[in-house]
Amino acid sequence: MWRDALLVAGKDLRIEARSRVGLWQVVPFALLALVLFAFALGPGPVALRAAAPGLFWLAVLFSTVLAIQRSFAIEGGEGTRDGLRLSGLDPAGIFLGKAAAVALQLLVLQLVLFAGVVLLFGARLHTPWLAITASVLATIGLSAAGVAYGALSAGLRVRETLLPLLVLPVLAPVLLAGSRAWAAALATSPAGGGQLLKILGAFAAVYVVVGVVLYGPLQEAA
């Protein structure tokens, strides 16, 4: 399973490196979202600084949806989807490989977004370890749940509209916990950080396990 995961992750990342879609489309979309939020909330720095963590995670969430769609568009053709099924790869390995590739892209995205938030919204980080841990855990959870739901809707013609509807409610706890964690990290007093990390960790663990177990039947049903 791990060998298959490495193979699939390598394949996805190599394709991403050649095509640079994530770099040139998903990251600009996230930055664009930040700018649009600023338009929506008004230019007052106080409001933006207070809202910065939530807006950061909201942008991450929407970019996750895009990243998942891109990840499954790699296997867009009829031939490649069948090819993946016929390749003899362990479905759990395929799941972990795809999730790992998406997670790496999301981490890069968050770095860029963090820079954007610091610049655009004037936020300042006081406890970096909380922010980093929260980001890593949240990314694992986002990519696992996202790839699972992406596989669910990958083979359908209505996938563009179905995927956001399915995956965003599921990712809502990550948004909740992540934004509160970043609020604590950006503020001077990190209150309740432990509880949040527990929630993020539980989400990530649950969805990785559930995804590994159920990806086989999922690939059949797609």
Partner 1 sequence: MATVVELRTAVALAGRFPALSGVDLSVEAGEVVVVLGPNGSGKTSLLRTCAGLLNVSSGTAVVLGCDLREDRVAVRSRVGLLGHAAPLYDELSARENVRFATRALGYPTDRVDPALERLGLVGRLRRTPVGRLSAGQRRRVALAALVARSPELWLLDEPHAGLDAAARRLLGELVEEAATGGAAVLLSSHEPDLSVPMADRVVSLAGGTITSSSPGGRATKLSVVDLPAPLGAGGSNVA
Partner 2 sequence: MKPVVLRSIGVAAIVTTAATIWLGLWVTPPDKVQGDLVRLVYIHPPIAWCALYLAFGLAALSSLLYLWRRTRSMFWDRLAASAVEVGVVFNALTLVTGSIWGRPTWGVWWTWDARLTSTALLLVLFLGYMALRRVPAEPEVRAKRCAVAALFAFVDVPIVHFSVVWWQTLHQGATVLNANLSPTIHGSMAWTLLLGFVAITLAFIWMVAVRYRIEVLRDEIGEEELEVSLAERRAESGTVEAGFASAEATPTMALQPRPEPAGHPGPTVVSRATSTPATSSRSRCSSSTSSASSYAGAALSAPSPTWPHGATPFSRAPPRTARRDNARRPPGRRRAGTRAPEQTAAPSAPDRRLRRFGGRRSVSPLRGAREFTQLLRHRRPGAGPETPARHVDDPARRNGRPRFRDPNGLGCELLGVGGQPGRPRRERGFATGTLPGQHPRRGGRALRLRLVDDLLVQPDHGEALRRLHREPPRPRPGRQRHCAMTSPGDRRSRPAKRVGA
| Residue 131's binding partner out of partner 2, partner 1, none, with CB under 5 to 8 Å set by partner kind | none
Cα distance between residue 161 and residue 56, in whole Å:
23
Considering CB distances under 5 to 8 angstroms, the limit depending on partner class, which of partner 1, partner 2, none binds residue 176? partner 2
Choose one: 6-14, 36-44, 69-77, 190-198; the region binding partner 2 (CB under 8 A): 190-198
What's the one-letter identity of residue 96?
A: L
Minimal distance, residue 2 CB to partner 1, in Å: 13
Read off the DSSP letter of residue 56. Answer: H
DSSP letter, residue 155:
T
In angstroms, the CA 127 to CA 125 distance is 6
Residue with tokens 């929630």: 199
- Of the pair 86, 158, the CB lying nearest partner 1 is at 86
Among 66, 140, 148, 185, indicate the residue that binds partner 2 (CB under 8 A): 148
Residue pair 9/94 in contact (Cβ under 8 Å)? The answer is no
Please provide residue 15's backbone torsions phi and psi, each rounded to the nearest 5 degrees.
-65, -40
Of 82 and 160, CB closest to partner 1: 82
For residue 35, the minimal CB distance to partner 2 (Å) is 27
Q: With respect to partner 1, which residue has the nearer C-beta, 68 or 199? A: 68
CA 126 from centre of chain: 24
Whole-number Å distance between alpha carbons of 66 and 69:
5
Size of the chain, expressed as the number of residues it contains: 222
Residues 67-126 interacting with partner 2 (rule: CB under 8 A): none
Look up tokens 């909740």; give the residue: 176
Q: Which does 86 bind (CB under 5 to 8 A by kind): partner 1, partner 2, none?
A: partner 1
Please say whether the beta carbons of 52 and 83 come within 8 A: no
Contact letters for partner 2, residues 154-183 (x by CB under 8 A)? --x-x---x--xx--xx-xx--xx--x---
- Letter for the amino acid at 1? M
Cα distance between residue 182 and residue 209, in whole Å: 26
CA distance 138 to 124: 20
Q: How far is the CB of 115 from partner 2 (least distance, A)?
A: 27
117 binds, among partner 2, partner 1, none (CB under 5 to 8 A by kind): none
**152 near partner 2, rule: CB under 8 A:** yes
- Which residues are at the interface with partner 2 (CB under 8 A)? 145, 148-149, 152-153, 156, 158, 162, 165-166, 169-170, 172-173, 176-177, 180, 191-192, 195-196, 199, 202-203, 206-207, 210, 214, 217-218, 220-222
